[in-house]
């Protein structure tokens, strides 16, 4: 049996385009002698559809697409994902389903059993778990079809009481097939391979695993679909962060044939988050994930050009370099907004960066605007000393300027705030926190530096002085980030233990950090939730990002 894996990039709710893409892949597989083609989870509507699922019209459009695809599923079997209706009055009205189409008929429907309801996932909000489990008969073989989370319950501390493969194995299937929408984070790709291997070893069956690829605002899917033989060897692995289609052959002896890509003893085990922050971990994949996030956000939203407030600092430099690589330098404008507190080297570094990238830049000094604000506010401010009010005023002037250019020329502002700043509230609402998409909001400062060096791995794109100099907001004379925050080499590991690892203050202190500093930092994180709640979407690259994956009360008193 020749099985095709179709790793595709879908557009949520764009049923016509998604269905056209699926049908094109089916026709290609037919022309190449395919017996079966497998697509990813909820491929027809795109994942995650979220509250679109509450619209009857959305469900009808998906089922109409199934009918379109059924018409071309004649000589080839098709496994495709789409929501289906629960006809029983009890429970939720929908299932997360995989449709088996063949000979222009719906031969079977498999419903997802394990519905994740943690981190960025909220499937139990919409779907009912499967009531029963049956293999699908196809060309004399029994297919054990599961959907994404259904294969992730083999840990020492399982999240669910039921494991669908424990039921399907009783029917003596020949192969496992998993339709997945498994998002990227910097530990997940290895965990995915480890999970597939664990299932193969547990049930003594080969597995074909099809994952989706592409980004949906904050969530990036990295693909990496694979086929693993009964011995745990990877015999096919599709590329990461790109669409692809590949065939594997399933022999009569129950094995997948083909040249080994990775032998079983080299398949990584299921990975957990590192116990401490590792800034270099998967930096190449993080780079690709951010490029995918930027590209797909613009393509799927119909945007063409971006604007970045370029300060000569490391964060804006990395964002500008990423945007230029993702969209083309000709589609990215840098706006330099120096004040009387900006150092000469910051302007020079920002200009040098744009010249290296070959992009356009404008310089608009804000000194006169800032002084006009000071004059207008002086009757109310009276003779109170220069403070954070004046610092934030400069940031808000810059925010207004860059948004003015965004409106005038139809560009989208890419935000440059990093995770260290967002965690501690080191940013100005309606100023440097403005933007349509947060590019670095899931990277700690130490990771931003690692990414800058990675971008420069072949040649100097980001001027070395930007990487070497001490970070500063430059909102007052001689200002450095270290005036307000501990050194990032100390701050970032504390934040990582609190945000990613969910360690309490006592545990973090026991890890060797100063007690007063730990209590100060955890308080900063919690009291600045109101700022993050007003922030733009962040491209997710870590196992615990700010946004929908980390839901905290704004006015809570815990550690604040």
Annotated ligand binding at 549? The verdict is no
Structure tokens at 433: 């926190």
Q: Residue 479 and residue 476: Cα distance in Å, rounded?
A: 6
Which residues make Cβ contacts (< 8 Å) with residue 435, sequence separation at least 6?
A: 413, 414, 415, 416, 536
CA dist list (Å): 228 to 102, 235, 268? 25, 6, 13
Check if the beta carbon of residue 212 is closer than 8 Å to that of residue 181. yes
Check if the beta carbon of residue 244 is closer than 8 Å to that of residue 224. no
Annotated ligand binding at 316? The verdict is yes
Q: What is the largest CA-CA distance in the chain?
A: 87
* DSSP-assigned states of every residue in 181-202: --B--TTHHHHHHHHHHHHHHH
Angle at 273 between CA 271 and CA 279, to 5 degrees: 115
Check if the beta carbon of residue 82 is closer than 8 Å to that of residue 42. yes
Annotated ligand binding at 310? The verdict is yes
Annotated ligand binding at 314? The verdict is yes
Of 311, 277, 553, 326, the C-alpha closest to 427 is 311
Annotated ligand binding at 313? The verdict is yes
CA dist list (Å): 427 to 94, 179, 265, 369? 42, 41, 47, 21
**Distance, first Cα to last Cα, the chain:** 60
Sheet holding 226-228, edge to edge: 136-138, 141-147, 175-180, 207-211, 226-228, 234-237
Annotated ligand binding at 412? The verdict is no
Structure tokens at 162: 């039921």
Annotated ligand binding at 312? The verdict is yes
Give alpha helix (H) positions in 32-102.
56-72
Q: Residue 35 and residue 509: Cα distance in Å, rounded?
A: 59
Of 293, 300, 298, 320, the C-alpha closest to 309 is 320
CB atoms within 10 A of CB 45: 25
Sign of CA dihedral 349, 353, 356, 362: negative
Annotated ligand binding at 421? The verdict is yes
Annotated ligand binding at 309? The verdict is yes
Helix (H, G, I), strand (E, B) or coil at 419: helix
Structure tokens at 69: 């695809």
Q: Among all chains, which residue has been given the structure tokens 């004046």?
A: 390
Q: Among all chains, which residue has been given the structure tokens 């070395």?
A: 464
Among all residues, which ones are annotated catalytic?
41, 112, 148
Q: Residue 167 and residue 135: Cα distance in Å, rounded?
A: 10
CB atoms within 10 A of CB 230: 17
Residues in the chain: 560
Across-strand partners of 211? 180
Summarize the annotated binding site for L-glutamine as residue ranges.
118, 182
Summarize the annotated binding site as residue ranges.
118, 182, 309-316, 392, 416, 421, 531
Summarize the annotated binding site for ATP as residue ranges.
309-316, 416
Summarize the annotated binding site for deamido-NAD(+) as residue ranges.
392, 421, 531
């Amino acid at each position: 049996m020749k099985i095709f894996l179709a790793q595709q990039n879908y557009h949520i709710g764009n049923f016509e385009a998604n269905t056209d893409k699926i049908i094109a892949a089916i026709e290609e597989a037919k022309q190449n002698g395919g017996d079966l083609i497998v697509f990813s989870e909820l491929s027809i509507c795109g994942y995650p559809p979220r509250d679109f699922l509450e619209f009857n019209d959305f469900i009808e459009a998906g089922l109409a697409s199934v009918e379109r695809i059924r018409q071309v599923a004649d000589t080839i079997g098709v496994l495709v994902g789409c929501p289906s209706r629960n006809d029983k009055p009890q429970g939720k009205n929908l299932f997360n389903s995989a449709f088996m189409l063949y000979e222009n008929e719906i031969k079977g429907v498999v419903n997802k059993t394990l519905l994740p309801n943690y981190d960025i996932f909220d499937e139990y909000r919409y779907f009912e778990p499967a009531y029963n489990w049956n293999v699908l008969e196809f060309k004399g073989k029994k297919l054990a079809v599961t959907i994404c989370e259904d294969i992730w319950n083999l840990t020492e501390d399982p999240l669910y009481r039921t494991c669908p493969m424990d039921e399907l194995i009783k029917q003596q299937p020949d192969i496992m097939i998993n339709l997945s929408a498994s998002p990227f984070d910097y530990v997940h790709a290895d965990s995915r391979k480890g999970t597939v291997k664990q299932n193969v070893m547990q049930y003594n069956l080969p597995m074909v695993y099809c994952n989706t690829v592409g980004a949906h605002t904050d969530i990036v899917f990295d693909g990496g679909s694979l086929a693993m033989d009964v011995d745990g060897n990877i015999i096919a692995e599709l590329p990461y962060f790109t669409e692809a289609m590949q065939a594997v052959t399933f022999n009569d002896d129950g094995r997948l044939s083909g040249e080994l890509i990775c032998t079983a003893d080299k398949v990584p085990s299921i990975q957990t988050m590192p116990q401490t922050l590792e800034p270099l971990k998967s930096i190449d994949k993080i780079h690709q994930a951010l490029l995918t996030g930027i590209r797909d956000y613009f393509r799927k939203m119909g945007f063409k050009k971006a604007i970045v407030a370029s300060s000569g600092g490391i964060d804006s430099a990395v964002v500008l370099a990423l945007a230029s690589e993702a969209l083309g330098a000709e589609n990215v404008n840098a706006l330099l907004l120096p004040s009387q507190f900006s150092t000469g080297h910051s302007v020079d570094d920002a200009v040098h960066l744009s010249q290296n990238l070959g992009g356009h830049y404008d310089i608009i000094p804000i000194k006169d605007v800032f002084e006009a604000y000071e004059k207008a506010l002086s009757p109310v401010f009276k003779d109170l000393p220069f403070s954070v009010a004046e610092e934030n005023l400069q940031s808000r002037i810059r925010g207004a300027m860059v948004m003015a250019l965004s409106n005038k020329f139809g560009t989208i502002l890419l935000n440059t705030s990093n995770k260290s700043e967002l965690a501690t509230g080191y940013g100005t609402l309606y100023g440097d926190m403005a933007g349509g998409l947060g590019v670095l909001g899931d990277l700690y400062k130490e990771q931003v530096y690692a990414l800058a060096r990675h971008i420069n791995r072949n040649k100097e794109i980001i001027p070395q002085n930007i990487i070497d100099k001490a970070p500063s907001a430059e909102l007052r004379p001689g200002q450095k980030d270290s005036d307000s925050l501990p050194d990032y080499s100390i701050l970032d590991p504390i934040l990582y233990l609190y945000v990613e690892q969910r360690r309490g203050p006592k545990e973090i202190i026991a890890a060797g950090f100063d007690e007063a500093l730990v209590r100060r930092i955890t308080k900063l994180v919690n009291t600045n939730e109101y700022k993050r709640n007003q922030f733009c979407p962040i491209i997710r690259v870590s196992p615990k990002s700010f946004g929908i994956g980390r839901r905290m009360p704004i006015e809570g008193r815990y550690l604040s």
